Chains A and B, each alone.
Chain A
Amino acid sequence: MSLRIVVCVKYVPDATGDRKFADDLTVDREDVDGLLSELDEYAVEQALQIAEEADDAEVTVLTVGPEDARDALRKALSMGADKAVHVDDESIHGSDVMATSLVLAKAIEKTGYDLVIAGMASTDGTMGVLPAILAERLGVPQVTLLSEVKVEDGKVTGRRDGDTASEQLEASLPAVVSVTDQSGEARYPSFKGIMAAKKKPVEELELDDLGLDEGEVGLEGSWTAVDSADERPARTAGTIVKDEGEGGKQLAEFLASQKFI
Chain B
Amino acid sequence: MAEILVYVDHVDGAVRKPTLELLTLARRIGEPVAVALGNGAADTAAVLGEHGAVRVLTAEAAEFADYLVVPKVEALQAAYEAVSPAAVLVPSSAENKEIAARLAVRIGSGIITDAVDLEAGAEGPVATQSAFAASYTTKSRVSKGTPVITVKPNSAPVEAAPAAGAVEALAVTFSEKAHGTKVTSRTARESTGRPELTEAAIVVSGGRGVNGAENFAIIEALADSLGAAVGASRAAVDAGWYPHSNQVGQTGKSVSPQLYIAAGISGAIQHRAGMQTSKTIVAINKDAEAPIFDLVDYGVVGDLFDVVPVLTQEVQARKG
Given contacts A168-B185, A252-B311, contact A144 B259 (CB under 8 A): no
Q: B309: which of A167, A232, A248 is its contact (CB, 8 Å)?
A: A248
B 281-320 contacts with A by CB, 8 A: 281-282, 284, 288, 293-303, 306-311, 313-315, 318-319
Docked pose: A124 CA to B282 CA in angstroms: 26
Query: Does A170 lie within 8 Å of B181, measured CB to CB?
Result: yes
Task: Please pick, from B110, B182, B313, the residue contacting A223 in the complex, using a CB distance under 8 A.
Answer: B110
A97-B182 contact, Cβ under 8 Å, with A129-B98, A145-B94, A241-B300: no
Complex contact A171–B182 (CB within 8 A): yes
- Cβ-based interface call for A93 (8 A): no
Measured between C-beta atoms, what is the minimum distance from B126 to chain A in Å?
7
- Pairwise interchain contact A129-B136, C-beta atoms closer than 8 A: no
Contacts of A124 in B (CB 8 A): 132
The answer on a CB contact under 8 Å between A165 and B139 is: no
CB-defined contacts of B258 to chain A, threshold 8 Å: 260
| Given A222-B143, A247-B300, A248-B306: A169 in contact with B135 (beta carbons within 8 A) | no
Q: Is the CB of B250 within 8 A of A123?
A: yes
- The one of A165, A224, A235, A251 in contact with B295, judged by C-beta atoms closer than 8 angstroms, is A235
Interface readout for B235-274 with A: 1 if CB under 8 Å, 0 if not? 0000000001100001100000011000000000110010
Residue of A at shortest CB range from B141? A225
Given contacts A129-B101, A143-B68, contact A171 B310 (CB under 8 A): no
Residue numbers in B under 8 Å from A117 (CB-CB): none
- Asked if B78 lies at the interface with its beta carbon under 8 angstroms from chain A, I say no
Hey, which chain B residues are within 8 Å of A160, CB to CB? 68
Residue from A25, A101, A225, A250 within 8 A of B300 (CB atoms): A250
The yes or no answer to A261 lying at the interface (CB within 8 A) is: yes
- When distances are taken between beta carbons in the complex, the residues of chain A under 8 Å from B301 are 240-243, 247
Give the complex CA separation of A15 and B135 in angstroms: 11
B130 contacts which chain A residues (CB < 8 A)? 232
Number of residues of chain B lying within 8 A (CB) of chain A: 88
Interface stretch, picked from B42-50, B159-167, B186-194, is: B186-194
Contacts of A19 in B (CB 8 A): 132, 135
Q: Within A135-153, which residues are at the interface with B (CB < 8 Å)?
A: 135-137, 139-145, 147
CB contacts (< 8 Å) of A232 on chain B: these are 130, 134-137
Nearest B residue to A246, CB-CB: B310
Given contacts A142-B69, A229-B131, A249-B310, contact A224 B138 (CB under 8 A): no
**CB nearest to B96 among chain A residues:** A163
Q: Which of B112, B135, B143, B189 contacts A231 (CB 8 A)?
A: B135
Q: Given the interface contacts A132-B101, A182-B244, does A230 sit within 8 Å of B311 by beta carbon?
A: no
Report yes or no: A98 in contact with B141, Cβ–Cβ below 8 A: no
Nearest to A219 among chain B residues (CB) is B143
Which residues 191-225 in A have Cβ within 8 Å of B in the complex?
222-225
B68 and A224 contacting across the interface, CB-CB below 8 Å: no
9 closest A-B pairs by beta carbon, nearest first, are: A243-B302, A248-B310, A223-B110, A141-B180, A252-B314, A129-B101, A223-B144, A132-B98, A224-B110
Residues of B within 8 A of A (CB): 11, 68-70, 93-95, 97-98, 100-102, 104-106, 108-114, 126, 130-145, 177, 180-189, 202, 226, 244-245, 250-251, 258-259, 269-270, 273, 280-282, 284, 288, 293-303, 306-311, 313-315, 318-319
